[in-house]
């Protein structure tokens, strides 16, 4: 029988009682119970099964009048005697912040209050029979009525876990899904300090030295502990995607995907899935993107599409890579051409650091699922280093989309991008001058004509052309040290097509445009790139010198 994906079902009971098949990840329950840490943070990229795993924990551990044995019989966790001693034993506090992503603190705080209200409403039976003291009942009702100030809500986890522990006579399990979604929204939309301050108080109150706590499990994309979000939580352990523990709990393994693919052409289909959705390495284990695999299997035409890309926003990625310029580097060109980079990795992501430091970008891209670690090593100083590369075809499309959209937006339309490509390949200097000047007007400030902005300009130009022309051309750079110069080679993959070499220069102080153009032409001749292109079968070959003068570009042909 073919595998039946439960696409979009994130509730464990609903999945198990439907006609969908379940990939058994219940070993996670046993590992959480056996872990010495009271609080576990399990950061993974989006759509890698975080919510369904937390839901599975909830249905197993949550005290309930409903007998849930049938949900777990036959699964791996049912074979653990220690795990079964905690089956349906603990009151569970569940809250999810996955939908709290707004563009202002006012809207975000309103949404946070609503989520906390839902958390309390699930335990409104505590108000029955006068169990709560009058002051406790007053606070409880204030939350149910969406009243009260911010401090009332920041102590909500602590208060509720105390009420539940007294009522049930058992320690409490706290499950928090996608804890960092509001933090990402705050960073992107300018209310970062407010949202971090709220969560710092909420987690410190509810998770630090809480005598009523049995286990706390949080999921999200990033660990942000260095920002004192989890200040003083000595009982917190983080298992990132570099950790060997829980390595296969999120995403699908090769063996799991193999069991899903059967019938005619199964091996060919598996090879295609590998190219598109495989390539992640969690704790050294090869992992497939589960969302994309399930979407592919569910698709009647079995189309290989960027399903993961289509279900999320790339606003934060674009902000860091394009607006702040951290991705407009030769390093990104290296990755786009299939090579690897070795970079230092910091598991404590500080979004403010990522915004200000290009080196912190690599950690962000790794833990967000946009890169994979081919090799990981720890140096003598205890620093973690990884050889990073793009995992698969699906993620390559994410980068290609970002850089092509950057160039398209800068030029004003896709038609203008086509005109730019045509002008390059046909060696039309006047039209190229016009279009490059449009880029300068939109991207370069008057105050910084020779600094980092032109560097961003031509590196963005290079990356945009690299992905726009990739079907028929190889676009590469061979840069000199320092700002202001870059050689760009556009080499055809098929003989008989045009080839282009560009020498780009920023006009220096007290230098004339004519002198700069002459120098660029001399460099073109000295490096003899035209010979290299002709040897590759390019015909004709256009040697173009480009000088950026303020907000104007000058182009001459060699």
For residue 481, is pLDDT > 70?
Answer: no
Q: How many whole angstroms separate alpha carbon 307 and alpha carbon 296?
A: 8
DSSP 367-429: HTTS-EEEEEEE-TTS-EEEEEE--SHHHHHHHHHHHHHHHHHHHSSHHHHHHHHHHHHHT-H
First to last CA, the chain: 66
User: pLDDT at residue 450 above 70?
Assistant: no
Instruction: Report the range of poorest mean pLDDT among 81-90, 111-120, 131-140, 547-556.
Output: 547-556
In the prediction, which pLDDT does 107 show? 98
**pLDDT in the model for residue 483:** 40
Q: Scanning the structure block, which residue is given the tokens 């086509």?
A: 418
pLDDT given at position 439: 80
Q: Of 217-226, 259-268, 465-474, 475-484, which has the strongest mean pLDDT?
A: 465-474
Tens of pLDDT, residue by residue over 208-247, are 889 999 999 999 988 765 556 777 777 789 999 999 999 9
Interval 500-543: pLDDT, tens: 998 888 888 788 999 989 988 888 888 887 888 899 899 999 99
Which of 75-79, 159-163, 343-347 has the weakest average pLDDT? Answer: 343-347
- pLDDT at residue 297 is higher than 60: yes
* Residue 273 CB neighbours (<10 A): 24
Is the pTM higher than 0.85? yes
Q: How confident is the model at residue 101 (pLDDT cuts 50, 70, 90)?
A: very high
DSSP code of residue 478 = -
Cα–Cα distance for residue pair 533/499, rounded to 1 Å:
6
What's the rounded Cα separation, in Å, for the pair 151 and 157?
A: 12
Contact 185, 108 (CB under 8 A): yes
Strands of the sheet containing 499-506, edge to edge, are: 473-477, 485-492, 499-506, 541-549, 552-557
Instruction: Evaluate the CA torsion angle 262, 264, 266, 267 in order and state its sign.
Output: positive
In this prediction, residue 524 carries a pLDDT of 86
Query: Which pLDDT does position 264 carry in this prediction?
Result: 66
Please say if the pLDDT value at position 323 is more than 90. Answer: no
CA dist 400 → 115, 332, 439, 470 (Å): 37, 11, 19, 10
Question: Distance between CA 81 and CA 377 in Å, rounded?
Answer: 37
Residue of 387, 393, 345 whose CA lies nearest to 368 = 345
Return the residue matching tokens 């280093």. Answer: 385
Strands 236-238 and 39-43: parallel
Instruction: Please tell me the distance from the alpha carbon of residue 373 to that of residue 247, in angstroms, as a whole number.
Output: 14
Average pLDDT of 114-135?
95
- Choose the weakest-confidence range: 203-207, 245-249, 453-457: 453-457
Q: What is the pLDDT of residue 69?
A: 98
Contact indicator for 213, 161 with CB cutoff of 8 Å: yes
Q: What is the pLDDT of residue 224?
A: 65
Sketch out the chain's domains with CATH numbers. Answer: 12-238 (3.40.50), 254-310 (no CATH), 315-395 (no CATH), 412-557 (no CATH)
The alpha carbon of 388 is separated from its chain's Cα centroid by a whole number of angstroms, namely 15
Per-residue confidence (pLDDT) for residue 484, from 0 to 100: 43
- Give the pair of three-digit tokens for residue 192: 């970062």
**pLDDT of 430 higher than 70:** yes
| The pairing of beta strand 485-492 with beta strand 499-506 | antiparallel
What is the C-alpha separation between 479 and 525, in angstroms, rounded? Answer: 16
Does residue 445 have a pLDDT over 70? Answer: no
Cβ atoms of residues 323 and 456 within 8 Å: no
In three-state secondary structure terms, 122 is coil
How far is the CA of 380 from the CAs of 154, 377, 383, 384, in angstroms?
41, 10, 7, 10
Give percent of the chain with pLDDT exceeding 70. 94
Number of other residues whose CB lies within 10 A of the CB of residue 362: 23
User: Three-class SS of residue 318?
Assistant: helix
- CA dihedral (164, 168, 173, 176) positive or negative: negative
**The token pair that represents 68 in the structure block:** 């849930």
Residues 491 and 473 sit within 8 Å (Cβ to Cβ): yes
pLDDT of residue 479: 56
Instruction: Tell me: cis bond preceding 184? Omega within 30 of 0 counts.
Output: no
**Which residues are paired to 548 by β-bridges?**
506, 553
Helix (H) or strand (E) holding 219: strand 213-220
Question: What does the CA dihedral 357, 359, 360, 365 come to, rounded to 10 degrees?
Answer: 130
CA atoms within 13 A on the CB side of 44: 31
Band of pLDDT at residue 161, cut at 50, 70 and 90:
very high
Are 446 and 440 in contact by the 8 Å Cβ rule? The answer is: no
Structure tokens at 17: 């009682």
Q: Which two tokens stand for residue 442?
A: 């939109």
The pLDDT confidence band at residue 127, using thresholds 50, 70 and 90, is very high
């Amino acid at each position: 029988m073919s595998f039946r994906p439960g696409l979009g079902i994130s509730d464990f009971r609903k999945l198990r009682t439907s006609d969908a098949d379940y990939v058994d990840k219940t070993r996670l329950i046993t590992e959480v119970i056996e872990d010495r840490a009271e609080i576990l943070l399990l950061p993974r990229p989006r759509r890698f099964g975080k919510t369904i795993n937390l839901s599975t924990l909830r249905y197993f551990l949550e005290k309930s009048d409903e007998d849930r044995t049938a949900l777990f019989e036959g699964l791996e966790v049912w074979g653990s005697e220690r795990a079964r001693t905690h089956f349906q034993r603990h009151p569970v506090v569940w809250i999810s912040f996955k939908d709290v992503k707004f563009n202002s603190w006012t809207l975000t705080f309103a949404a946070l209050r609503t989520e906390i209200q839902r958390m309390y409403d699930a335990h409104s039976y505590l108000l029955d029979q006068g169990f709560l003291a009058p002051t406790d009942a007053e606070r409880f009702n204030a939350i149910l009525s969406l009243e009260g100030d911010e401090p009332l809500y920041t102590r909500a986890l602590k208060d509720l876990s105390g009420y539940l522990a007294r009522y049930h006579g058992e320690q409490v399990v706290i499950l928090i899904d996608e804890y960092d979604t509001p933090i990402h929204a705050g960073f992107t939309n300018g209310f970062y300090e407010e949202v971090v301050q709220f969560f710092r108080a909420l987690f410190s109150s509810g998770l630090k030295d809480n005598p009523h706590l049995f286990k706390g499990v949080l999921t999200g994309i990033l660990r942000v502990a260095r920002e004192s979000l989890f200040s003083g939580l000595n009982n917190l352990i983080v298992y990132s995607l570099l950790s060997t523990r829980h390595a296969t709990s999120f995403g699908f393994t090769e063996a799991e995907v193999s069991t899903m693919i059967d019938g005619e052409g199964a091996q060919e289909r598996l090879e295609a899935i590998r190219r598109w959705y495989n390539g992640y390495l969690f704790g050294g284990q090869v992992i497939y993107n589960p969302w994309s695999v399930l979407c592919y299997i569910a698709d009647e035409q079995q189309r290989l599409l960027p399903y993961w890309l289509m279900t999320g926003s790339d606003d934060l990625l674009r902000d860091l890579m394009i607006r702040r310029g951290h991705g407009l580097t030769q390093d990104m060109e290296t990755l786009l051409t299939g090579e690897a980079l070795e970079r230092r990795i910091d598991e404590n992501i500080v979004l403010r650091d990522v915004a200000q430091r290009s080196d912190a970008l690599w950690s962000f891209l790794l833990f967000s699922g946009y890169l994979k670690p081919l090799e990981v090593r720890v140096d003598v100083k205890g620093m973690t280093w990884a050889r990073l590369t793009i995992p698969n075809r699906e993620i390559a499309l994410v980068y290609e989309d970002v850089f092509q959209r950057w160039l398209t937006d800068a030029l004003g339309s896709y038609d203008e991008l086509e005109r730019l490509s045509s002008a390059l390949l046909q060696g039309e200097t006047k039209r190229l001058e016009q279009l490059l000047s449009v880029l300068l007007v939109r991207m370069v400030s008057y105050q910084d004509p020779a600094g980092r902005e032109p560097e961003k300009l031509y590196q963005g130009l290079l990356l945009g052309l690299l992905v726009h022309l990739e079907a028929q051309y190889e676009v590469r750079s061979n840069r000199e040290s320092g700002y202001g110069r870059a050689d760009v080679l556009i080499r055809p993959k098929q003989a008989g097509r045009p080839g282009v070499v560009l020498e780009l220069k920023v006009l220096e102080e007290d230098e004339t445009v004519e002198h700069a153009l002459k120098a660029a032409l001399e460099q073109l001749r000295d490096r003899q790139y035209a010979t290299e292109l002709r040897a590759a079968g390019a015909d004709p070959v256009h040697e173009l010198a480009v000088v950026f003068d303020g907000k104007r570009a000058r182009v001459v042909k060699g």
